[in-house]
Amino acid sequence: MGADGMVRRAYKYRFYPTPGQENLLRRTIGCCRLVYNKALAARTEAWTARRESVSYNQTSTMLTGWKKTEELAFLREVSSVALQQSLRHLQAAFSNFFDGTADYPRFKKKSRGGAATFVRSAFTWDGRTLRLAKMDKPLDIHWSRPLPDGAYPVNVTISLDSAGRWHVSILVEEHVTALPKAEGKVGVDMGVESFATLSTGEKIDNPGLRKRNAKRLGKAQRDLARKRKGSNNHRRAMLKAARIQARIADRRKDFLHKLSTRIVRENQTVVIEDLAVKNMSRRCKPETDPANPGHYLSNGQTAKRALNRGITDAGWRMFRTMLEYKAAWYGRDIVVIDRWYPSSQICSTCGKNTGRKPLNVRAWTCPHCHTTHDRDVNAAKNILAAGLAVNVCGDQRKHHNN
């Protein structure tokens, strides 16, 4: 996107369907999930059994055949547009997998809610109300913020989350003006105790949302475990636990949005590390005690699990995504340095590498220049310096090529 350009932005709102609308939407979401899973199974089976690739057009032909069968005739009762969009989503998932940007597509589960997407031919919008295909009344949307003036939806996605809440995401094209140039440049060191430490010396506290709600969530999950699966009590207990988790997720997203927006507004260049969050939070195997074969070191395992929970609770990957797309919108620069850069080992004053330090060492003194450092602030300063060097080299290469 240029300095001033059009971007696609989604506006998400709660809405409250009538009983008739909810019945239709639940059937639509269920049919979309069924079509997605059947197409995924067909593509997987074709490749594993016969080494054949199945395209989107072929799955679209399959969908036409499924509708003609007596067993799946109910697919004709919902919007065909939403069903076709579920096949397009599957195609996009495979494209991301082959590009190496995502894992192999997984089957959708009913317990996680679901979604259905409608393009312009399947809804009507008059600037104030939204009506979907096969509905006689518009949706009762809680307009928490207005849509851009004159914006017409590109598509509309209806979703039901695991907490039983209905949302509508309206994708529009709007004109975004880049922010004025800023003087600030900042390096960001991600952490667990402090969510992030900036090269300016500022430390952003980790909200610790899951930890703060651990007691309520734990009780809800224990109650759920005692209920018989499939019973009404089990469904009610599952909904209660899901609502607690949804509240945690909402608060986390609100925190990340506010922080990423502030950093992008205040700084022209933001430097971050290319952290392998998935690998860092991967479940670890118990470590054996060398002195007692057959015995495990439970303390280290417990510490690793606590670190895993801290990383996943912090939302590092989501934070990076927000920084990247907001920087693209508002004309800022995001520089990502190599994950193996020893930011915690180098003295930001004299530049000497002083070696690795255990995680419990939060402050240290450089043996060369005798400067005392806060571990995280020092790392953030090194990240900024490395990022600026990468940025300068990149600009020089562009100038040379021109």
**pLDDT at residue number 192:** 78
Q: Is residue 167 domain-shared with residue 190, that is, in the same domain?
A: no
- Whether 275 and 160 share a structural domain: no
Task: List the catalytic residue out of 22, 99, 103, 189.
Answer: 189
Residue with tokens 């059937």: 27
pLDDT tens profile 257-273? 999 999 999 999 999 99
Separation between Cα atoms, residue 389 and residue 271, nearest integer Å: 11
The candidate with the shortest Cα–Cα distance to 375, out of 236, 191, 226, is 191
Decide if 376 is catalytic.
yes
Catalytically annotated residue among 136, 273, 333, 395: 273
Distances from the Cα of 208 to the Cαs of 137, 280, 293, 306, in angstroms? 42, 18, 37, 12
Both 193 and 309 in one domain: the answer is: yes
Q: Are residues 189 and 328 in the same domain?
A: yes
pLDDT reported for residue 87: 98
| pTM of this prediction exceeds 0.75 | yes
Residue 36 placed within a domain: yes
Pairing of strands 184-190, 267-273: parallel
Percent of the chain past pLDDT 90, that is, above it, reads 74
Where among 116, 140, 175 does a domain terminate?
Answer: 175
Q: Does 378 fall in a domain? A: yes
> In angstroms, rounded to a whole number, what is the distance separating the alpha carbons of residues 376 and 191?
8
Q: Considering its fold, how many domains does the chain have in total?
A: 2
**Looking at the predicted structure, is the pLDDT value of residue 14 above 90?**
yes
**What local confidence, expressed as pLDDT, does residue 296 receive?**
44
Is a pLDDT exceeding 70 seen at residue 393? no
Of the residues 141, 175, 209, the one at which a domain ends = 175
pLDDT at 320: 93
CA–CA distance, 130 with 13 (Å, rounded to integer): 12
Give the count of beta carbons closer than 10 Å to the beta carbon of residue 123. Answer: 21
Q: Are 53 and 3 in contact (CB under 8 A)?
A: no
Tokens of 157: 């996605």
Active site residue 273: yes
Residue 119 shares a structural domain with residue 262? no
Catalytic residue status for 140 = no
Instruction: Assign 309 a pLDDT band (cuts: 50, 70, 90).
Output: low
| Biggest alpha carbon–alpha carbon distance for the chain | 80
Predicted confidence (pLDDT) at residue 202 exceeds the cutoff of 80: yes
Q: Is 358 found in the same domain as 314?
A: yes
Q: If we measure between CA atoms, which residue out of 114, 115, 91 comes closest to residue 40?
A: 91
Range of the domain at 66: 6-175
Q: Which of 45, 254, 376, 395 is catalytic?
A: 376
